[in-house]
Chain A
Amino acid sequence: MLRYTIRRLIQLVGVVLVLSLLLFAWLRALPGGPVSALLGERSTPESREALTKLLGLDQPIIVQYFKFLGRAASGDFGTSLGVQQGDSAMEIFLQRFPATIELSALAIVIAIALGIPLGYLAAKRRGGWFDNVSVAGSLIGVAVPVFFLAYVLKDVLSSVLGLPTEGRQDAINATRVTGFFVFDGVITGEWDAALNALEHLILPAIALSTIPFAVVFRITRAAVLDVLDEDFVRTAESKGLTAPVIRRRHVLRNAMLPVVTTIGLQTGALLAGAVLTEKVFSFAGVGQALAIGFERRDYPVLLVLIIMATVVYVVVNLLVDLSYALIDPRIRTR
């Protein structure tokens, strides 16, 4: 198990190196760049030349890349050229990462809390009205673009529920400890601040949870249907075991493996949804920084965010793989 984990982590370093090189080349191949984004209408041939030189963009890409690697080795990933000019790109990631984690965590909790029970119920009542309605609902969940849903949620729900439509928290004096606003409020005893941050999370989390909810629901339903047809379930029923015991011990436990895999993959994929959700809800997370970074061609920030997102994604999937072993003893013995 330990050797397996170490091997996976070494693979991760390789992945990051290759990715950073590809990303570096790709970003610079994109039309436009930070120079025109920074100068806008005011640019002159001289100012463009001076700024290109200042940012080192006049050098061959490979030279730029190795310089970047050299600095990155000492922890310097460059400073932002557009998202928050002058701030270190890594600082921007560290500041915004907790926001995205808070949002994604709540979205995943909503997806799991609704997806698994509804998926199970739909499978149990296969072909019934509940099954048909929830399958149709999950299809809509996958099909409706996140940003559209986000705008609708804001327009409709914010006025009905009185929930805030943007930002992470009101402009209140709150103590920052970890950067996780809800958690910070709890540990410092600033309950108002914690609640306020939580209120700001609700609408974006609902918007962000729709796709993972739909996927978790469908996978759960399919997996439960498969298990329900298995001989051992019939055996358990004929032995006279009670429904809750069969559900817990036999059906759900066996059906969970693909569901856990899905949750892991969905957690990684949440970042894609977070870009749009955070943009619409002006939520200062990694997704919003990515959106602004692309708009303004903020190379250093884009590099750090995408590399760090990859690291997180790979680590989450590693954790999912390791959790298999806990769920399925057969994997442990392989």
Chain B
Amino acid sequence: MAHSRTARRRRWTAAIGLTGVAALALSACVQSNRGEESGSGKVGGTLTFGAAGAPKGFDPFYATDGETFRVSRQMYEGLVGFKPGTAEVEAALATKWEPSTDGRTWTFTLKENVKFHDGTPFNAEAVCFNFNRWFNQKGAGQSEAVSQYWLDNFGGFADTPDKPSLFKSCAAKDPKTAVVELTKATSQFPSVLGFPSFSMSSPEALKKYEADNVVQVGESITYPPYANEHPTGTGPFKFSKFDKANNVVEIVRNEDYHGTKAKLDKVVFRIIPDETARKQALKAGDIDGYDLPNAADWAGLKSDGFDVKVRPAFNVLYLGINQLNNPKLQDLRVRQALMYAINREQLVKSQLPEGATVASQFMPPLVDGYDDKLTPVKFDTERAKSLLAEAGASDLTLKFYWPTEVTRPYMPSPKDLYGAIAGDLEKAGIKLEPTSKPWNGGYLTDVDQGVPDLFMLGWTGDNGTPQNWIGTFFGRTDNRFNTGKSPWGKELADKLAAANAEPDEVKRSALYKELNKKIVEEYLPAVPISHSPPALVFKKEIQGVTPSPLTDERFGSATKG
């Protein structure tokens, strides 16, 4: 196949040469090496993955986007990881961990004989060096665009007393024991340490390549050599190069890996921003796989012999309700009417990929604190109408915004989803003033500024802690729903904070379950719609990649051929 493809290309290349491009004549005598680059069998070979965007450097601490995390995940490891295919925390560079009774002191026992890619040892000193590095960011390193994950999960820095930090200190008790002190208990620990952002880097490399030298000049932020050219972790792959002119990132097997060595010689990430182009590149054999194939293409890709790997759904789509501009929306009955009016069962069946489910609450079943006794209310237009009448809102008119030029894992086709939801709401007698705007061209800005009454949005989780879900949505009152407009807004935020600070896991889970029920039955700040499973697609010859709800696919276990 490869040979005939090459031969055909030769012929045509020569033919096109007749258009006057003399250089094409080279094709007659030069042997291209396309189609021969990968070895066969279970060991060796190159996996070429179609990435949707360019990574923002290779220092995961400064990463904020999925494409950067994807590459970092192959080169770095954290103290904890996630069991393949789940959101469950498992040992990684730490073999075990022990919290104190108040949940503020965590003792990590580290794996021994682990080396960073530069040959320096991984030990408790290195762990504390990393924690202290994160905590002591300065200047631009503290900005939201740079250290977003630290700000979201740990709060402030060493020199921001007005903004307290979750992190207090780290001590190396002995080479294989690191003790991390927190300022308060949190449900997020230790699973937050499984985020790529909190992976372990070589202290030597961090110093040598000035990892913290993030500079802001005017509106510009530039990153140091560590992030651009010298990422140094402990993972099964090492950084090789980023050929920016060709939009290709290459990582190679780490021969000194402390665990089971990677089977592949290399992983190449080709940056192909256009989704249709990724699909065509896969079909043409130019890449071996890509992420987030459009749900409408799954069946076609399967019938073409590709392996569509469906991830467990780890997201939620909701109909956002903003109470800011329309006082009627502050009435629970009106918000309940919206929920009864939408035929979520039908919407999931007709608009979402196989495996999608109706959301009974604002988190999927994989998240701790999920209440499996909650069932979604049944679609009932008449009930919606009577609730509106009771609330004196039969003449309700709402500004309903939906986004264009975007697909999200929880929202594969915004236009179709909008159509289904809007149709149902109109049947219940609600008048809508629809507005569509490009995702980055006004939609998000308007939603953030509280312009629409109703909007479509969602969330893909970082981990399996409820704080990452309902804590993110409703943990403050100036959120996208303006829950501060309702008397229960602050109460909900306080209850979420209390649940998050509960060190006892069993009690904490119970508190969150209770809150999930309250949110849907008593507060209803928005209407949870669905959980959709996103997918990755690979050629059949690629084996050993386990689809992860956290998009935590590691290629160390992958084989080709």
CB pair B220 A79 closer than 8 Å: yes
Q: List, in ascending order, chain A residues with CB within 8 A of B444's CB.
A: 32, 36-37, 39-40, 43
Contact partner of B8 (CB less than 8 A), chosen from A160, A166, A182, A202, is A160
Closest-CB distance, B470 to chain A (whole angstroms)? 14
Partner of A162, one of B8, B440, B448: B8
Among B46, B216, B247, B443, point to the contact of A167 (Cβ < 8 A). B247
Task: Indicate if A282 sits at the interface (CB-CB under 8 A).
Answer: yes
Nearest-CB residue, chain B, relative to A158 = B284
A162 near B143: Cβ-Cβ < 8 Å = no
Contact present for B26 and A86 (CB under 8 Å): no
Cβ–Cβ < 8 Å partners of B459 in chain A: 41
CB of A79 within 8 A of CB of B277, answer: no
Q: How far apart sit A110 and B250, CA to CA, in the bound complex (Å)?
A: 34
Q: Which residues of A contact B405 (CB under 8 A)?
A: 295
Residues of A within 8 A of B70 (CB): none
Closest CB pairs A-B (n = 4): A31-B442, A162-B5, A36-B444, A79-B220
Are B218's CB and A279's CB within 8 A?
A: no
Contact assessment for B8 and A109 in the assembled complex, using a CB-CB cutoff below 8 Å: no
Residue of A98, A171, A194, A199 with most chain B CB atoms under a 10 A cut-off = A171
> Does B355 interact with chain A (Cβ within 8 Å)?
no
Contact of B273 among A98, A163, A181, A288 (CB under 8 A): A288
Q: Nearest residue in A to B244 (C-beta to C-beta)?
A: A95
Q: Which of A100-138 contact B (CB under 8 A)?
A: 106, 109-110, 112-114
What is the 8 Å Cβ interface bit string for chain B, positions 26-53, against chain A (1 contact, 0 not)? 1100111110010000000010100001
Q: Does residue B24 face the partner (Cβ distance < 8 Å to A)?
A: yes
16 A-B pairs besides A39-B148, A84-B54, A110-B20 with CB distance below 8 A are: A31-B441, A31-B442, A39-B444, A54-B221, A85-B221, A87-B244, A162-B4, A162-B5, A162-B9, A172-B33, A181-B245, A195-B27, A196-B32, A196-B34, A292-B273, A300-B219
| A161 on the B face (CB < 8 A) | yes
Does B19 interact with chain A (Cβ within 8 Å)? yes
Residues facing A in B147-198 (CB within 8 A) are 148, 151-152
Contact B145 A38 (CB under 8 A): yes
State whether A86 touches B277 (Cβ < 8 A). Answer: no
Closest to A36 in B: B444
Residues of chain A within 8 A (CB-CB) of B270 are: 166-167, 171, 282
Residues of A in contact with B (beta carbons under 8 Å apart): 30-33, 35-48, 50-51, 54-57, 67-68, 71, 76, 78-79, 83-88, 95-96, 98-99, 106, 109-110, 112-114, 151, 154-155, 158-172, 176, 179, 181-182, 186, 191-192, 194-196, 198-199, 202, 279-282, 284, 288, 291-292, 295-297, 300
Cβ of B276 and Cβ of A179 under 8 Å apart? Answer: no
- Chain B residue, CB-CB nearest to A297: B440
B 478-503 to A, binary, CB cutoff 8 A, 1 in contact else 0: 11000000000000000000000000
Chain B residue at minimal CB-CB distance from A53: B143
* A296 contact set on B, CB distance < 8 A: 440
Question: Do A151 and B218 have beta carbons less than 8 Å apart?
Answer: no
**A residues near B457, Cβ cutoff 8 Å:** 41
B145 adjacent to A166 (CB under 8 Å): no
Q: How far, in Å, is A62 (CB) from chain B's closest CB?
A: 15
Report if B268 contacts A (CB, 8 A). yes
- Cβ-defined contact, A198 with B442, below 8 A: no
Q: Contact between B245 and A50 (Cβ–Cβ < 8 Å)?
A: no
Q: Is the interface of B mostly helix, strand, loop or mixed?
A: mixed
Q: Is B57 touching A85 in the complex (CB atoms < 8 A)? A: yes
Q: Does B372 contact A (CB under 8 A)?
A: no
B299 at the interface (CB under 8 A from A): no
Report which residue of A86, A161, A297 has the largest number of chain B beta carbons within 10 angstroms of its beta carbon: A86
Q: A76-B220, A192-B31 are in contact. Are A51 and B274 (CB under 8 A)?
A: no
Asked if B440 and A295 make an inter-chain contact with CB atoms under 8 angstroms apart, the answer reads yes
**Is B258 interfacial (CB 8 A cutoff)?**
no
Chain B CB within 10 A, most for which of A55, A88, A110, A166: A166
Q: Does B399 contact A (CB under 8 A)?
A: no
Q: Which interface class (under 10, 10 to 19, 20 to 34, 35 or more) fits B?
A: 35 or more
Given contacts A32-B441, A43-B448, A288-B273, contact A300 B220 (CB under 8 A): yes
Contacts of B20 in A (CB 8 A): 109-110, 112-113
Q: How far is the CA of A110 from the CA of B20 in the complex (A)?
A: 8
CA distance A30 to B478 in the complex (A): 26
The answer to whether A195 and B448 touch across the interface, beta carbons within 8 angstroms, is: no
CB proximity of A270 to chain B, nearest CB, Å? 17
Q: Are B286's CB and A164's CB within 8 A?
A: yes
- The one of B21, B246, B271, B281 in contact with A109, judged by C-beta atoms closer than 8 angstroms, is B21
Would you mind naming 17 contact pairs between A and B with Cβ atoms under 8 Å apart?
A: A32-B439, A36-B448, A38-B64, A41-B460, A54-B140, A55-B219, A85-B221, A96-B245, A110-B19, A161-B12, A162-B6, A279-B277, A282-B247, A282-B277, A284-B247, A292-B53, A297-B440
B280 at the binding interface (Cβ < 8 Å): yes
**Whole-angstrom distance from the CB of A14 to the nearest CB of chain B?**
25
Instruction: Say yes or no: A54-B440 contact (C-beta < 8 A), given A48-B448, A113-B19, A158-B284.
Output: no
Q: A109–B19 contact, CB under 8 A?
A: yes
Q: Name the one of A43, A87, A159 contacting B284, with C-beta atoms under 8 angstroms.
A: A159
Binary flags per residue of B187-228, CB closer than 8 Å to A gives 1, else 0: 000000000000000000000000000001111111100011
Q: Which residue of A lies closest to B5 (CB)?
A: A162
Given A32-B444, A114-B19, does the pair A154, B27 have CB atoms closer than 8 Å?
Answer: no
**Chain A residues whose CB sits within 8 angstroms of the CB of B227 once the complex forms:** 86
Contacts of A86 in B (CB 8 A): 56-57, 221-223, 227-228
Residue of B nearest to A98 (CB): B245
B16 touches A (CB below 8 Å)? yes
Asked if residues B284 and A192 are in contact (CB atoms below 8 Å), the reply is no
Nearest-CB distance from B478 to chain A (Å)? 5
Task: Return the chain A residue nearest B228 by Cβ.
Answer: A86
B414 is an interface residue with CB less than 8 A from chain A: no
Which residues from B are CB-within-8-Å of A68? 218
B56 neighbours in A (Cβ, 8 Å)? 84-86
In the bound complex, do residue A165 and residue B286 qualify as a contact, i.e. CB atoms below 8 Å apart? yes
Tell me which residues across on chain B come within 8 A of A199, comparing CB atoms. 9, 13, 32, 34
Contact B6 A151 (CB under 8 A): no
CA A114 to CA B16, docked complex, whole Å: 12
Question: Which residues of B sit under 8 angstroms from A300, Cβ to Cβ?
Answer: 219-220
List residues 442-473 of chain B with CB under 8 A from any CB of chain A.
Answer: 442-446, 448, 457-460, 472
User: What is the bound-complex CA distance between A181 and B243, given in angstroms?
Assistant: 12
Please name all residues of chain B whose beta carbon is closer than 8 Å to the beta carbon of A170 when the two chains form the complex. 33-34, 37
Cross-chain contact B9 with A186 (CB below 8 angstroms): no
Chain B min CB distance to A245 (Å): 23
> With A154-B280, A194-B26, A202-B13 given, is the CB distance from A32 to B19 under 8 Å?
no
Give Cα distance in the complex from A160 to B219, angstroms.
48
Residues of A within 8 A of B46 (CB): 171
A105 to B216, CA, bound (A): 38
In the complex the two chains form, what is the Cα distance from A36 to B444 in whole Å? 6
Q: Nearest chain A CB to B421's CB is how many angstroms away?
A: 18
Contact between A198 and B281, CB atoms less than 8 A apart: no
C-alpha spacing A76/B219, complex, angstroms = 11
**Cβ-based interface call for B272 (8 A):** yes
Instruction: Specify which of A30, A40, A194 lies most central, judged by the most chain B CB atoms within 10 Å of its CB.
Output: A40
Please give, as numbers and ranges, the residues of chain A lying within 8 Å of B223 by CB-CB distance: 86
What's the minimum C-beta distance from B210 to chain A, rounded to whole angstroms? 14
- Residues from chain B with a CB closer than 8 A to the CB of A159 are 284
How many Å from the CB of B370 to the closest CB on chain A? Answer: 20
Indicate if B415 sits at the interface (CB-CB under 8 A).
no
- Inter-subunit contact B23/A282 (CB<8 Å): no
Q: Mark B413-454, 1 if CB is under 8 A from A, else 0.
A: 000000000000000000000000111111111101000000
